A and B are shown apart, each in its own frame.
Chain A
């Protein structure tokens, strides 16, 4: 839905009545990386037998009381710092009251009026242009359990393993104007969380999920009525959901209708959004401060200690990669998207040509990993091995073409690249005597081609190819070229 006008990217969407602007805000639920739940000592491990990670508190047994898990607080503070956000030294946990079988207490403990983290920002880049998306707030809350409806014809089951697991709800400002921007926002947020190690960002497991608020308006008009699309669980679906929802809203308005504020679900199989509940059906959550928990108070020193130990974040790393290694912003951005990839690259680039290293990591390695469906942590080739290949190229020991063959061998068989080059005779031939002998032989065998090249000097390429073929690709192409030019007089 993006058009280019006057060379500038426009995010406006064409409708029957003219251009429309999409406005997107996001509420991302990120599961906190912690061993234990937000208010109980039960484990947060994924994939256990149903109801095996449930404490008395999680099951809301009579007389049970929540006690804050300090590690979850620390993770929220780290995340807030990573989002360059205001850390609120005093915050309050509230009860959000509603009935559902997977909510044992009959209320979710969340933060309503006084969240632990206030306003912050995230820098994103779309189509080569940078923009800032504002963060409204981050608060901590309990996850609910899971209702299972497909195991019995007449009953539903409840698994409380997730009940009470800590979530960070990260709310953006309605600063995004396209599906692409929204996708870039979630990707960048995910990257930051993974750098901070405060959320694993695993969307498949539901450890990161997004509620997407979409509205449309004529450019310059006030904000339109928004619909909230709940629980979108992949970056691709976020893009699709925004596009179809914006189209739906534009269609309604252009047909003379109005948008109802409501909660909708994205049906990925059918590529539509469906109404879940309207504003009238919305719950009255009867928020009030949880009397079982005192207000959470932290000192500035406590926060500053986390600030001092914050790891290098993607924006800083990108700046360093372009400055120290001379990488293009694009190459650097690809590398810093995943902390593990950036670390891998740094090992390859250490003491070597950074640009050459980036090329090999970004093109050969990532291309091959993608093809095999592997992530960088499961790469069969270590950074030391790829570094060895880069060394052999840089020293002129092998040609770029041989390097690709070598890459395949190391990928498939492992081993030390230098040793492989040695034992398999893959070294580049720069011995001019040997090259000249080969050149002489080709010239002698092809008098017709020699005649043709006099008329058309670009024919020299054919001779180069023949010599290279005969050398098994090991001849130094520059030396072959020089010798041919001299002998053929072109």
Chain B
């Protein structure tokens, strides 16, 4: 049996169906890969091999009985932001201590109901706040990709896998799972996907239930998959998405067969290219990537149109008001009273202060403070209210665009994967990682990142397609065209196997 961990999720599904291997064999292969590779990559914060093998055995039984679900026996990694019943869930924050939920998030429940196997909990930036996975309580995740010198020699410099879903992107890129759940508040699915040569889709706000996902910014958070291929992403999203009466912002509209959209012709598809995304100082390789993307879509019969999204430049500042404001309130529940960390103090206030000071990392504290500030009496109108107005204008920009085009094409990130510490000391530089992705969250739209090529240093670059609300199917069709043209990007050197952390 060749290395089954290298299979795509769709191929593994075929293999199980054809009984080329069992779910248990498949799961065991991943358990071994995690054992061998996780020390160096730190993608998993809690591998759950026993549970995985138990689930796999149950899957094998169902496969044998002919009652298999659509994801039967397929091993996945779960971002630690998703509450998993009986399995420690921390959002990679000290404040949650050893918190173990008694309940299962709707999205993971959907996956398990479909037969998926959970290999463990994946690393992320603390409370999903970050773009490099450097703010996790469990330490940073290492990108499986490394820079290559012109000579072809592999650099020893560790690169970040993007964030906040860095554990998800690294695990998928390094074949430590077939696919992973992730969440995206300002780019946390698409940016790490772009930096690791994987596919990530943030669906329309309301497409996946937020119930049971540790909240960062409620009006922006959405779950989605990070996967090896466009097809795999389509398969996973089809199961993750659902209407959930337990989430008042969930939308009651049927989930289409996303897989059926793959291979659909994009002849006549109108592709918008927004001039505002051509930011100052954009590197030529990112621009080249963008031009390549345009050419591929044109070649497949799409028409390309210059469009304007005039309020784009306000998106990032407005995002850094709205998201911290909501997070300052959402994180108020971590007070040391009922669960998670408690650092006893002299009195109640002292206990709150000690608990939250010890429990939250620097970036989380920064955002809680910003959020508290912008919601304060006397500042609310100038900051929060104005940011919400900007948000309305950003939405309107897109609404206007949809009369001319069907999808919008942009680069996913302004640059390829960077080294540890390169941006961690400069919050603004880090926040700029999200410059092409936050507008999509602000407008509640679906966005997919698909690999478009490699940088001059041999690291992956991603292209982003933005779609109309609930038109994920069209994104999958167009992303498939890009993937077919660009090819797959897989790390060609498994340096992490057996390496120490």
Assess whether A292 is in contact with B218, with CB atoms less than 8 Å apart: yes
Contact pick for A65, options B89, B246, B329, B372, CB 8 Å: B246
How many Å from the CB of B184 to the closest CB on chain A?
16
How many Å from the CB of B471 to the closest CB on chain A?
21
Q: How many of chain B's residues touch chain A, expressed as a range?
A: 35 or more
Assess whether B83 is in contact with A63, with CB atoms less than 8 Å apart: yes
The yes or no answer to A293 lying at the interface (CB within 8 A) is: yes
Contact string against B for A residues 59-91, beta-carbon threshold 8 Å, 1 for contact and 0 otherwise = 111111111100000000000000000000000
The yes or no answer to B348 lying at the interface (CB within 8 A) is: yes
The yes or no answer to A239 lying at the interface (CB within 8 A) is: no
Contact pick for A63, options B211, B328, B377, B384, CB 8 Å: B211
Residues of A within 8 A of B153 (CB): none
Classify the interface of chain B: helix, strand, loop or mixed. Answer: loop
The yes or no answer to A298 lying at the interface (CB within 8 A) is: no
The yes or no answer to A97 lying at the interface (CB within 8 A) is: yes
Q: Knowing A63-B213, A286-B372 touch, does A56 contact B103 (C-beta < 8 A)?
A: yes
Assess whether B352 is in contact with A99, with CB atoms less than 8 Å apart: yes
Q: Which of the candidate stretches A101-109, A177-185, A269-277 sits at the interface with the other chain?
A: A101-109
Provide the bound-state CA to CA distance between A134 and B266, in Å: 63
The yes or no answer to A419 lying at the interface (CB within 8 A) is: no
The yes or no answer to A294 lying at the interface (CB within 8 A) is: yes
A67 (CB) vs chain B CBs: closest residue:
B248
The yes or no answer to A288 lying at the interface (CB within 8 A) is: yes
Assess whether B332 is in contact with A106, with CB atoms less than 8 Å apart: yes
The yes or no answer to A291 lying at the interface (CB within 8 A) is: yes
8 Å CB interface, B126-148 against A: none
Q: Knowing A286-B372, A288-B384, A294-B249 touch, does A95 contact B329 (C-beta < 8 A)?
A: yes
B322 (CB) vs chain A CBs: closest residue:
A291
Residues of A within 8 A of B326 (CB): 291
The yes or no answer to B99 lying at the interface (CB within 8 A) is: yes
Assess whether A292 is in contact with B212, with CB atoms less than 8 Å apart: no
The yes or no answer to A158 lying at the interface (CB within 8 A) is: yes
The yes or no answer to A284 lying at the interface (CB within 8 A) is: yes
Assess whether B214 is in contact with A62, with CB atoms less than 8 Å apart: yes
Residues of A within 8 A of B249 (CB): 291-294
Q: How many of chain A's residues touch chain B, expressed as a range?
A: 20 to 34
Q: Knowing A62-B99, A65-B211, A293-B248 touch, does A107 contact B329 (C-beta < 8 A)?
A: yes
Residues of B within 8 A of A284 (CB): 376-377
Provide the bound-state CA to CA distance between A66 and B210, in Å: 11
Provide the bound-state CA to CA distance between A56 and B99, in Å: 14
8 Å CB interface, B373-388 against A: 375-377, 380, 384
Assess whether B337 is in contact with A104, with CB atoms less than 8 Å apart: yes
How many Å from the CB of A108 to the closest CB on chain B?
11
Assess whether A286 is in contact with B376, with CB atoms less than 8 Å apart: yes
Interface Cβ pair total, 8 Å cutoff: 93
Assess whether A107 is in contact with B332, with CB atoms less than 8 Å apart: yes
Among B212, B326, B337, max chain A CB count under 10 A is at B337
Among B91, B102, B333, max chain A CB count under 10 A is at B333
Among A61, A99, A101, A286, max chain B CB count under 10 A is at A286
A56 (CB) vs chain B CBs: closest residue:
B103
Assess whether A292 is in contact with B248, with CB atoms less than 8 Å apart: yes
Assess whether A97 is in contact with B91, with CB atoms less than 8 Å apart: no
How many Å from the CB of B356 to the closest CB on chain A?
10
B348 (CB) vs chain A CBs: closest residue:
A101
Provide the bound-state CA to CA distance between A99 and B355, in Å: 13
How many Å from the CB of B121 to the closest CB on chain A?
14
Provide the bound-state CA to CA distance between A373 and B331, in Å: 50
Contact pick for B337, options A68, A158, A288, CB 8 Å: A158
Provide the bound-state CA to CA distance between A61 and B101, in Å: 8
Assess whether A105 is in contact with B332, with CB atoms less than 8 Å apart: yes
How many Å from the CB of B85 to the closest CB on chain A?
12
How many Å from the CB of B317 to the closest CB on chain A?
18
Provide the bound-state CA to CA distance between A67 and B219, in Å: 15
The yes or no answer to B171 lying at the interface (CB within 8 A) is: no
B220 (CB) vs chain A CBs: closest residue:
A291
Residues of A within 8 A of B214 (CB): 62-63
Contact string against A for B residues 389-401, beta-carbon threshold 8 Å, 1 for contact and 0 otherwise = 0000000000000
Assess whether B348 is in contact with A66, with CB atoms less than 8 Å apart: no
Assess whether B335 is in contact with A106, with CB atoms less than 8 Å apart: yes
A59 (CB) vs chain B CBs: closest residue:
B338
Residues of B within 8 A of A62 (CB): 83, 89, 91, 96, 99, 101, 214-215, 333
Contact string against A for B residues 314-351, beta-carbon threshold 8 Å, 1 for contact and 0 otherwise = 00000000000110110111010111000000001000
Contact string against A for B residues 72-94, beta-carbon threshold 8 Å, 1 for contact and 0 otherwise = 00000000000100000101000
8 Å CB interface, B206-262 against A: 210-215, 217-219, 245-249
Contact pick for A60, options B338, B380, B384, CB 8 Å: B338
Assess whether B218 is in contact with A99, with CB atoms less than 8 Å apart: no
Residues of A within 8 A of B217 (CB): 291
Assess whether A65 is in contact with B247, with CB atoms less than 8 Å apart: yes
A97 (CB) vs chain B CBs: closest residue:
B329
How many Å from the CB of A33 to the closest CB on chain B?
23
Assess whether A63 is in contact with B338, with CB atoms less than 8 Å apart: no
Q: Knowing A61-B339, A106-B335 touch, does A288 contact B83 (C-beta < 8 A)?
A: no
How many Å from the CB of A162 to the closest CB on chain B?
16
How many Å from the CB of A142 to the closest CB on chain B?
14
B93 (CB) vs chain A CBs: closest residue:
A62
Q: Knowing A97-B329, A99-B332 touch, does A63 contact B212 (C-beta < 8 A)?
A: yes
How many Å from the CB of A61 to the closest CB on chain B?
7
How many Å from the CB of A422 to the closest CB on chain B?
65
Residues of B within 8 A of A95 (CB): 329
**Which chain B residues have a beta carbon within 8 Å of chain A's beta carbons?**
83, 89, 91, 96, 99, 101-103, 105, 210-215, 217-219, 245-249, 325-326, 328-329, 331-333, 335, 337-339, 348, 352, 372, 375-377, 380, 384
Sample (16) of A-B pairs whose CB atoms are under 8 Å apart: A61-B339, A62-B89, A62-B91, A62-B214, A62-B333, A63-B210, A64-B212, A65-B210, A65-B246, A65-B247, A68-B248, A107-B329, A284-B376, A286-B380, A288-B375, A288-B380
Further contacts, 15 of them, CB under 8 A, given A63-B210, A288-B384, A292-B248: A60-B338, A62-B91, A62-B215, A63-B105, A63-B213, A95-B329, A99-B332, A101-B337, A104-B338, A158-B337, A286-B372, A287-B380, A288-B380, A291-B217, A294-B249
Give 10 nearest A-B pairs by CB, closest first.
Answer: A106-B332, A286-B375, A291-B218, A291-B219, A60-B333, A63-B212, A62-B214, A101-B337, A284-B377, A63-B83
